[in-house]
Amino acid sequence: MSTQNAYPLADIGRNNPIFSQIRSTVETAFYANNMTSIPDVATAYKLAAKGPGTVKTDLPIYRPTDMGLPADATMLVENTGKVVGRTAQARRILGDTGVDEADMAGRLREAIYRSQTESFIKTDVVVGLDEDFIVRAHLAIQSNYANNLLSYMLNFQPITQHYQDMFDQSVAYPEGDIYIYADPTYHDPDYPDGLAIFDPKHNVAAILGMPYFGELKKSTLTLAWSIAHRHGYVACHGGLKAFHFKDKSDQVFAMFGLSGSGKSTLTHAKHGYKYDITVLHDDAFVINRQNGSSVALEPSYFDKTNDYPMSSTEPKYFMTIQNVGVTLDDQGRKVLVTEDLRNGNGRTIKSRYASTNRVDKENAPINAIFWIMKDDSLPPVIKVDDPVLAATFGATLATKRSSAENLIGDVDRNALVIEPFANPFRVYPLSEDYHDFKALFEERHLDCYLLNTGSFGTHKIPKEITLGALEAIVNNTTEWESFAGLDHMQNLKLADFPVDYNDQAYRDLVATRLNIRSNFIDHYQHTHNDRLPDETTKALLKLQQELTK
């Protein structure tokens, strides 16, 4: 499917559902005299390299010309100030309670008016890397933030002739292109921590007062996921890998978890090269509800740098880097200081070549979903064999906040929180995601697993345990036992993580954590116009009763 941005005169006006007040306000700004179009990655790189805050390192970018970069391109570093993560509290979504379109449109008009004497740059990319799903996106940003524009072009897919042909051959849908207007320097007086205005039904957003690149990436994905959801796809904030076999069906696994949960580690793991593995992506993809195939939305990876010291092999694939240190090595070269020494949540745009086994579309249908939790009441792996319960655990995915988030106010980063389907970027009703995932379990007969990648009690769960469990599932060598006698839940028997089901204190702890999930649903039902089906609460209450009776 593809989007559009040009129309017959008869189709321009109020009667065309593509148009709206916010969309018209944003798109108009793209045609102003203060906008300069950046046609390709090479031009963007040259502009970013001259930025006043840019550090041009002496580290060469791997295979630069393959990505449209100059042959002598080196990694570029740009750092922000105090805020080094996403600010969820800044999001205002049209359609949400208390968000008034006229008010937001007025604030947006003022922001654009105040910035009309400033120089802006703009570019075009596509989101989605296959004819099945490919939409066009436009970004405009103040010219002092050329590094963000370059990162945007490297994170998504610049429109080369190949991708233009793919876009042209795709089936056109009644959807307008995505437009993102960004001014990191403008601060609305009523929103000192930043303001992100979303009109998801019309595929447009404005990001004001926030220089962190992740705001641009996630706002674009937010709108692309919303388009996909409206047209027969399940929107996925997670990773997907496939195990291919000659003598049996392929195994296609999707991992869902927030930043820092381990989904990227699990997605990219090579498993000692024992299998023929392909990786679709570790952060953003969509699943075709009709045939179970999947399409990646991005060619590159927006990865944390914390786990990659300069002595490791991974920095070889870095291109642009945000919020890291720079120093001199013993050869006098400007190199990176990673491992979050300067600040938390150091980030890089890492090229697709970091995955030697990368694909942009997985034709084999998905057959298993893994909800990645950080809940110390859970053993490392639990299998759930009921579609309602499987979708309910996705809707009440329990985890802990990561350094990728800029938390405002007195918020405990270590508290257990619920993030449905590990996707804080949803702009349509949660119940629709619930029904989408339930349909995958019910109609496509997907397996469901809960992975705890944190600690079980006080016992840290090493990644080797989780990876070994994935291999056992692939090889069908798992040994399961009933989890505390609960219906539709089995625990993977692991010698290092025994579970004492007769310990009432442990059973009460599990019941308490299930109650957190029940309370989340209850609160959601009372604070949203949308409602999750009653079957979700009934499924959780039944488990609690079985644990405490």
User: What's the pLDDT score for residue 407?
Assistant: 47
pLDDT, residue 410, reads 52
Task: Tell which of 212, 231, 250 closes a domain.
Answer: 231
CA–CA distance, 529 with 277 (Å, rounded to integer): 43
Residues 186 and 279 in one domain: no
Distance in angstroms between the alpha carbons of the first and the last residue of the chain: 52
For 107-161, strand residue ranges (E) read: 120-130, 133-142, 157-158
Same domain, residue pair 146 and 257: no
- pLDDT (tens digit, 9 = 90+) per residue, 231-276? 999 999 999 999 999 999 999 999 999 877 889 999 999 999 999 9
Same domain, 168 and 216: yes
pLDDT at 549: 80
Whether residue 405 is predicted with pLDDT greater than 50 in this model: the reply is: no
Given this model, what pLDDT does residue 1 score? 65
Whether 535 is in a domain gets the answer: no
- Give a yes or no: residue 65 inside a domain: no
Q: How many residues does the chain have?
A: 549
- Judge if 123 and 252 occupy the same domain: no
CA distance 318 to 64: 11
Beta-strand (E) ranges in 11-90? 35-37, 55-60, 74-78
Predicted confidence (pLDDT) per residue in 465-499, tens digit: 999 999 999 999 999 999 999 999 999 999 999 99
| Predicted local confidence at residue 258, as pLDDT | 84
| Tokens matching residue 89 | 């509290």
Q: What is the mean pLDDT of residues 12-24?
A: 95
Split at pLDDT 50, 70, 90, the class of 76 is very high
Return the pLDDT at 128. 98
pLDDT, tens digit (0-9, with 9 covering 90-100), for 368-384: 999 999 999 999 999 99
Asked whether the predicted pLDDT for residue 417 surpasses 80, the reply is: yes
Nearest to 257 by CA among 402, 128, 384, 362: 402
The chain-wide mean pLDDT, for the chain, equals: 95
* Domain identity same for 273 and 130: no
Shared-domain flag, residues 406 and 258? yes
**C-alpha–C-alpha distance, residues 398 and 511, integer Å:** 14
What per-residue confidence (pLDDT) applies to 411? 47
Answer with the one of 206, 231, 256 that is the final residue of a domain: 231
Task: Choose one of 499, 523, 540: the last residue of a domain.
Answer: 499
Q: Which of 465, 438, 439 is nearest to 453 (CA)?
A: 465
Question: Shortest CA distance to 474 belongs to which of 292, 291, 276, 280?
Answer: 276
Distances (CA, A) of 13 to 9, 21, 235: 9, 11, 30
Q: Is residue 450 part of a domain?
A: yes
Indicate if 30 and 93 belong to the same structural domain.
yes
Strand partners, 383: 449, 490
Report which of 47, 56, 43, 40 is spatially closest to residue 319, judged by C-alpha positions. Answer: 56
The reported pLDDT for the residue numbered 130 is 97
**423 pLDDT higher than 90:** yes
The CATH number given to whatever domain includes residue 412 is 3.90.228.20
Integer Cα distance of 40 and 150 in angstroms: 9
> What is d(CA 443, CA 434) in angstroms, rounded to the nearest whole number?
14
Within-domain flag for 74: no
Q: Pick from 257, 278, 260: which is nearest to 419 by CA?
A: 257
Pick the range with the lowest mean pLDDT from 193-197, 279-283, 403-407: 403-407
Residues 225, 370 within the same domain: no
| 3-state secondary structure at position 156 | coil
- Rg of the Cα trace of the chain? 23
Confidence of residue 154 (pLDDT cuts 50, 70, 90): very high
Question: Is it the case that residue 361 has pLDDT exceeding 80?
Answer: yes
Contact 537, 521 (CB under 8 A): yes
For residues 486 and 473, membership in a common domain is answered with: yes
35 with 145, same domain? Answer: yes
> Mean pLDDT throughout 413-417?
64
Contact 398, 549 (CB under 8 A): no
Pick from 37, 48, 57: nearest CA to 150: 48
Q: Write the DSSP assignment of 484-498 as a string of letters.
A: TT-TTEEEEP-TTS-
Q: How much of the chain exceeds pLDDT 90, in percent?
A: 93
Determine whether 428 is exposed, middle or buried from the number of CB atoms within 10 Å of its CB (0-12, 13-18, 19+). middle
Q: Are 154 and 67 in contact (CB under 8 A)?
A: yes
Structure tokens at 318: 């870095």
42 and 154 in a common domain: yes
Mean pLDDT over residues 70-74, rounded?
Answer: 98
In a domain, 186, yes or no: yes
CATH number for the domain including 170? 3.40.449.10
Is 80 part of a structural domain of the chain? no
Type of residue numbered 362: E
Domain that holds residue 477: 236-297+359-499
Residue 429, exposed/middle/buried by CB under 10 A (0-12, 13-18, 19+)? Answer: middle
Task: Work out the percent of the chain whose per-residue pLDDT is above 70.
Answer: 97
Nearest to 82 by CA among 345, 260, 305, 308: 345
DSSP letter at 135 equals E
Look at residue 493 and tell me if it is in a domain.
yes
What is the model's pLDDT at position 399? 81
Task: Count up the domains in the chain and report the number.
Answer: 2
- In DSSP notation, 314-332 reads GGGGEEEEES-EEEE-TTS
pLDDT at residue 413 above 50?
Answer: no
216 and 242 inside one domain: no
| Residue 37 in domain | yes
Q: Which of 323, 365, 409, 312 is nearest to 78 (CA)?
A: 323
